[in-house]
């Protein structure tokens, strides 16, 4: 069976007598260890879908099932890397990661083990050197690295990445994409990444889930990316499968976009 099952899930926001259907009938099965990218135009409900998986937003119809149990509240088994890092500015990098570790491993690991685990995760994102710094002293890319370390340190079943690199410059973004690919290869986490960057989606994902335009967005198409790992962005740039996948996503986004506008 699938690891994460999104079963006819939908989200309707209601305020007073007005209701706004954001997502409708989303169906998706994700296997353990799979890397899935979710792409769609801005405002289509990508982040809402991720928040539903995280449990931060309530699902109003259908359901989401992780390892046989329904998701209806947030929890550290679905750690989120937030779009704007969301590090607590009054804590050091180390303490930011420690907060989650304390919560998840407070009773199962000793103090020394927890310390090693925190440092191990910071080293994994190459931020061990900045353990005692505060978020304000770090660059945007470094903050996001710490955000990833914080999420990984909770040893989640699924790592949810909400457009994590959207606010970064292209070079930093490439570095972080490589870091995420390396972590995925080493730890084999199940990852779901929201993105609006076609190259990012193709480079990182095993499957790309394309959402239709809202309102009432749903899964329009799912594309398998048949590229072997480890992937190298330079060698892939001219690879026929890469080019074909990229083209398919672009075609979906732009033809579907036009189609929806014509239909309205």
Q: Which is nearer to another protein, 56 or 260 (CB)?
A: 56
Contact region with another protein (CB under 8 A), list: 6-14, 40-48, 68-76, 114-122 = 68-76
Query: Which residue number, 63 or 76, has a Cβ lying nearer to another protein?
Result: 76
Q: In this structure, what DSSP letter does residue 90 have?
A: T
Binding span for another protein by CB under 8 A among 17-25, 30-38, 76-84, 169-177:
76-84
- Check binding of 80 to another protein (CB under 8 A): yes
For residues 51 and 212, which CB has a smaller minimum distance to another protein in the complex? 51
Residue closer to another protein (CB basis): 11 or 246? 11
Restricting to residues 83-102, which ones interact with another protein according to CB under 8 A?
84, 86, 88-91, 99-100
Q: Are 52 and 61 in contact (CB under 8 A)?
A: no
How many angstroms separate the CA atoms of 20 and 214, rounded?
10
Query: Could you say which DSSP state residue 18 is in?
Result: E
Could you say which residues in the range 183-242 bind another protein, by CB under 8 A?
none
Tell me which stretch binds another protein (CB under 8 A): 10-18, 59-67, 134-142, 169-177. Answer: 134-142
Contact status: 145 vs another protein (CB under 8 A): no
Provide the pairing of β-strand 61-66 with 69-70: antiparallel
Supply angle C-alpha 46, 49, 50, rounded to 5.
Answer: 90
CB of 99 to another protein, least distance (A): 7
Cα dihedral angle (181, 80, 50, 38), rounded to 10 degrees?
Answer: -10
Binding another protein (rule: CB under 8 A), the pick from 2, 3, 63, 74 is 74
Backbone φ and ψ for 195, nearest 5 degrees, come out as -150, 160
Residue 130 has what DSSP assignment? G
Question: Dihedral through CA 227, CA 124, CA 154, CA 100, nearest 10?
Answer: -140
Nearest approach in angstroms of CB 103 to another protein is 5
79: left (phi over 0), alpha (psi -120 to 50) or beta: beta
Would you call the peptide bond into 215 cis, given omega within 30 degrees of 0 as the criterion? yes
| Residue number with CB closer to another protein (154 or 236) | 154
What's the CA dihedral at 258, 249, 142, 33 to 10 degrees?
130
Q: Assess 136 for contact with another protein (CB under 8 A).
A: yes
| Residue 158 found at the interface with another protein (CB under 8 A) | no
Pairing of β 207-211 and β 35-39: parallel
Q: Which of 62, 75, 140, 166 binds another protein (CB under 8 A)?
A: 75
Minimum distance from residue 58 beta carbon to another protein (Å): 12
Closest approach of another protein to the CB of residue 105, in Å: 12
């Amino acid at each position: 069976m699938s690891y994460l099952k999104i079963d006819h899930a939908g989200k309707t926001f209601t305020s007073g007598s007005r209701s706004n259907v954001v997502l409708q009938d989303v169906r998706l099965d994700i296997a353990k260890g799979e890397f899935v990218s979710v792409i769609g135009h801005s405002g289509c409900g990508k982040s809402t879908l991720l928040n539903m998986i995280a449990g931060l937003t309530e699902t109003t119809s259908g359901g989401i099932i992780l390892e046989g149990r329904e998701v209806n509240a947030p929890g550290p088994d679905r750690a989120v890397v937030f779009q704007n890092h969301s590090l607590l500015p009054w804590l050091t990098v180390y303490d930011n990661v420690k907060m989650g570790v304390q919560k998840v491993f407070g009773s199962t690991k000793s103090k020394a083990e927890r310390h090693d685990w925190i440092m191990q995760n910071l080293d994994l994102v190459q931020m061990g050197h900045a353990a005692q710094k505060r978020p304000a002293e770090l660059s945007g890319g470094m903050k996001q690295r710490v955000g990833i370390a914080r999420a990984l340190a909770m040893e989640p079943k699924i790592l949810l990445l909400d457009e994590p690199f959207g606010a970064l410059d292209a070079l930093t973004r490439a570095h972080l994409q490589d870091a995420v690919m390396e972590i995925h290869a080493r730890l084999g986490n199940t990852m779901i990444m929201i993105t609006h960057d076609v190259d990012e989606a193709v480079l990182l994902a095993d499957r790309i889930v394309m959402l239709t335009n809202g309102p009432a967005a749903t899964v329009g198409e799912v594309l398998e990316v048949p590229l072997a790992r480890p992937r190298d962005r330079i060698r892939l740039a001219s690879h026929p499968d890469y080019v074909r996948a990229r083209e398919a996503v672009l075609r979906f986004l732009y033809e579907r976009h036009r189609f929806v506008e014509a239909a309205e």
